[in-house]
Amino acid sequence: MTDDPPVVVKIGGAKAVDPAGAVGDVAHLVANGRSVVVVHGGSTVVDETIERLGMEPEYVESASGVTGRFTDADTMEAFTMAMAGKLNTELTALFRSAGVDAVGLSGVDGGLLSGPRKSAIRVVEDGKRKIKRGEHSGRIESVDTGLLAGLLADGYTPVVSPPMAGEEGDGEVTPVNTDADRAAAAVAGALDAELVLLTDVAGVYADPDDPETLIESAATPAELAAVEEAAEGFMGKKVLAATEALEGGSPRVVVADANVRDPIVAALGGSGTTIERSALGDEVEDAAGRSGSDDGGETA
């Protein structure tokens, strides 16, 4: 093993994200002694699975303005089929084909990712705030770092996907949806690992419609505020995940393009948008206060 901190790599689940470059990079890093944990999303395949089952994907806007998937009981069944059953298995096979001793895990396995289930969420519909019930999502409050550390020490590379272990009030545990970016953030924070969020754009743009306005770094609270203001749509949740990772203990987070050559190595070398832990300023001492968002699940 190297003296470098572990790295958590989140591979986006949108159709525009090609995992091939990330697979090759993880193989390179692991072969050179770097500890890597992979977390993946799967929004496109989940939607396709839902549609094949004759249902319509449903997305809602939270009270805080973030768009997320609404996961009722039927959607949760399709979600688990697509994420843990199909995508996690296929991605684990890709890594093993590349020489990586990968182990596929959902957040339910070993209680890897756990927290309370949310059965209702606050949403905004037609400009009005409402309570929408029947939700199957959760907020991660615990990461089993012992499980991950044990696998890494034995030379394995964990490949992690939602669902997480949702804890009901009566002590029952059920699989529930959780956002894959924020799952990666929770893992990175718990392991004090660097986090690379791979997506289908080069990073955060000051003008979301102009790739020439890439924000390369944020190392102060003012610079982080500018990144948060510029982040729109799906990028807003990635920046939220970045701050959660930094609050949890990650030294830096990079939002970068999955589709360039050597995407992880490039991100760790300075491409994309790098957010340093120093960007939290005094807030780094008050991490617990910002983790209670009531946003719905999303698997980008």
Q: How much is the average pLDDT of 141-164?
A: 97
Q: How much is the average pLDDT of 259-264?
A: 96
- For residue 186, which of 121, 253, 137, 119 has the smallest C-alpha distance? 253
Q: How confident is the prediction for the chain on average, in pLDDT?
A: 91
How much of the chain, in percent, has pLDDT values that exceed 70?
Answer: 94
**What are the angstrom distances between the C-alpha of 192 and each of 6, 108, 180, 182, 251?**
7, 22, 18, 15, 7
Please determine, for residue 59, whether its predicted confidence score (pLDDT) is greater than 80. yes
Please determine, for residue 261, whether its predicted confidence score (pLDDT) is greater than 50. yes
- d(Cα 12, Cα 44) in Å, to the nearest integer? 10
pLDDT at 289: 42
pLDDT at 3: 83
- d(Cα 250, Cα 186) in Å, to the nearest integer? 9
Please determine, for residue 285, whether its predicted confidence score (pLDDT) is greater than 70. no
287 falls in which pLDDT band (50, 70, 90)? very low
- Asked whether 191 and 148 are in contact (CB, 8 A), the reply is yes
- d(Cα 236, Cα 234) in Å, to the nearest integer? 5
> Which tens digits make up the pLDDT trace of 177-193?
999 999 999 999 999 99
pLDDT at 213: 97
